[in-house]
Structure 1
Amino acid sequence: MTDLTQNRSAIQHNSWIELRADRLLKNLQTLQERSGQTDVLAVIKANAYGHGLEEIASILAGKVTYFGVATLREALELKEHHPKTPVFLFGHLFSHELPAALLGGITLSVSSLEKAREISNLSESLGRKTSIHVKIDTGMGRMGIPLRVAALSIEEMAGLKGIMLDGIYTHFPTAEKDDAFREKQVRKFGILLQMLEEKNIVFRFRHATNSAATLTLKTPLFNMIRPGLTLYGIYPDPGLKNAAYFEPVLSLKSRIVLVKKVRAGESVGYGREFISQQDTTIAVIPFGYSHGYPYAAWKNASVLFRGKRYLLAGKVSMDYIAVNLGNTEAQAGDTVTLIGEDQNERITAEDIAGWAGTIPYEIVTRLSSHLPRIVT
C-alpha cells in the first residue's frame, strides 16, 4: 500500500484540482502594473485560499517580497520548503508559540506594545533580532494598536533591542469602496507616519492595499501591495470586474462514479426534493459537502459536461452530488467540471457563491486539503 500511495501519478483520481501556473503569474503581473508597485506581500493563508499552500508557494517563490499567512504551522512549512522568500505571519501568537516563530525567522505582526516587549525579550534571550510589522487599527476594529495610542507605543518599541521595525500596516473594512471612511483611514495613517518620521522612526514597508484596494486606491503612502483573492483570478466584489482582468487559477473536476436511469415519478437524494418529471439519466459524482461543495447551493447549482450545463438533481450529500443529464449519454469515469471551463462554458467560484448565498472566499477556502492539486 505504501508504494501505491507514493506513486500518485499511477492513480486515477476521483476528484481533483488543477492549477494554472501561467494564470497565477499573469494575475500577479496585472496587480503590479495596475498598482505601480513591485513589492508584493502575496497572501497565501488558508492553504493559499484553498488552492494549495505548497503548490502556490512553489510558483511564486522568488517572485514576491513576502508570503503572508495566518498560522504558525503554515509559516514554518513555508520557511522549510522556501527559505529564501520571507514569510510574514498576520496572526497574533500565544506565548508558547513564539520560540518556534523566532527560531524559524518569521516576520511577525504586532498589535500591542506588550507583545512587542515579549517578542523583544525572548529574541534577546535567544541572541536574535526579530523583524516585525506594526499593525495599526484605523477602523477595522479587530487586530492592531488603536490609532490614539499608536505613536507613543511605537516610540517605545523603537527602543527595544530585540526587534526591528521593518513594516507598518493597516486594514480596510470596506476596501472595495472609495468612500469617506476609507479616505479617513488613509489620512489618519498618513498623519501617524508623518509624526513618526519627525522622530526619525521610518519603516521599510508600508502596506494596506488588499485585492480590492489595490484596484481602487493609488497613493504614495503605501509601497507594497497585499493581494489575496485576485491573485487567484477571483473578484472580491462584482463591481471590480471592470477595474482589471484576472483569470481563474483553479479548476475543480470529478469523475462520474455511477450512471443510472430514473423513471418519471422517482426521486433522487435526501428529502426527495428532486422528483423526476420524465424518464431521465442521473450521473452520481463522488463530491459532496465533506469535500467542500456548499450544501446551500443545491437548488441552483450546475456542473459542466461535454461543454454543456446540467443542473443538480436534489440536495448535496456528504460524499455525493447527483446530476440530471436528461437524455445525454454518459458512463462511469467520464469527467465533469464543477469549477472551471469546458469548451465555451465556464463556472466560477463567484457563480457557486451566488448559488449558495455566500462569498467566493468561502467557496475556495473550504475545498478539502485532501484533494490532489495538479499544477499545469
Structure 2
Amino acid sequence: MTLAQPEARLYGTFLLDNPEEKKLLQRRARMVRALREHLHGGGFTEVATPLLCRSRESAPIPQFDTTNPLTGEHYHLRHSAQDHLRRLAIAFDRVYDLGKMIRAEREDDRRAIEFTMCQAAARDLSLSQGISLLTALIQHAVLSAYGRLETPGIDWSHIRIQSFHDAAGEALHADGPLADQDLADGARKWLTSNNHRVGATDWEVLEDFMKHAIEPGLTTPTVLTGFPYPLRHNSRIDQATGLAERFSLIAGGIECADGGLKLRHAADYRPMVEANITLREQLHGITGDRGPVDFFDDLDAAGPADVFTFGLGVDRLLALCAERSIHTVVPFPFR
C-alpha cells in the first residue's frame, strides 16, 4: 500500500481484499501486546497521560493547538508523554504510557503526524541498565510479532553500542576523536558541502548533522551514547567526561528510540526550558510561553531523583521490521 493508492482510503475493504496487509495489522497488535506484557513483568505501571495539555512541552518545537468549542479553553496536543511520566516518577518506581502522539512533522516514508509511542520512566537505573532494559523490550516485542529476531528489514539479534563521537568521526573521516567545537565546525562544513541547511546554533547544526550524516550510515541496530553538551536535551551531564548521559537507538538509518538519565530537579530544568522558550520564539515565532509550571512544582515538591526515561516509536519499529513505509503500518493511514 502507498499513499498514492486511493483504494486504501477504504481501509476495511482494503484489508479484506489484501490478506497480507491484514496479517501485518495483526503483527502490530502482537507487538503492542508484547510491549505491555514485558513492561508489566518488569514492574511497570501503565498510566494514560493527557493528550490535551494546558502547558507547552519543554522541547523547542511547535505543537498542534486546539480550542474547546464550548468553553474556549486552549490546549496543546501532546508531542510526548515524557514530562508527565517524569512527574509520575516521584510516586512510582516504574511507569509507562503506550498511546498516540501528535507531532508537527513534514510527513515522509518514515515520519507521520499521528503515531503510537511507548514511553517509560524508571527510578534508580544507570544509563547502561536502562539501555539493557530497552533493548530487551524491543527484542521481546519483535520476537512476539515475528517469531524470530531476523525480520525482513532488520536483524535485531545483536544491538551494538557506539559512542556519538566515534560515529561522528566516521562520518567526517576524522583521524581521531574530535573536541566539541571541532565537531561543531566539522558538522557545519559537512552540511554546507552537502547542500543542507546550516542552523545558527550548535544544537541545530549537530541535530541536522546527526540526522543527515550519522543516522543514514547506521543500518544495523546501534545504540549511540556519550552525546556532546549541545545535544544533551534534558539529560544529565557526566561530570567525569562532560558528555550527556543520553542514548539514541538507530536502525535502518533512522532513530526509533531515545532517552537517558534525566535532570534531577526543577532547578536543573529551568535554564534549559528558558533557553528552549527563547529558541522556540526565534525558530517558530511562538511567544507568551510561561513554561511547564505544574512540571516544575511537582519536581520541587518531591526533591532530587535519579530517573531514566525512554521513548520507542512503535509504528516506526514495525515499519523497520517490515521494510515498509510508516504509513503502511499505521492503522487508518488516511485518518
Same fold flag (TM > 0.5): no
TM-score (norm 2): 0.25
Name which structure has the greater RCO, CA cutoff 8 Å, separation 6+: 2
Return the index of the structure with the highest Cα Rg: 1
Going by fraction, where is strand more abundant, 1 or 2? 1
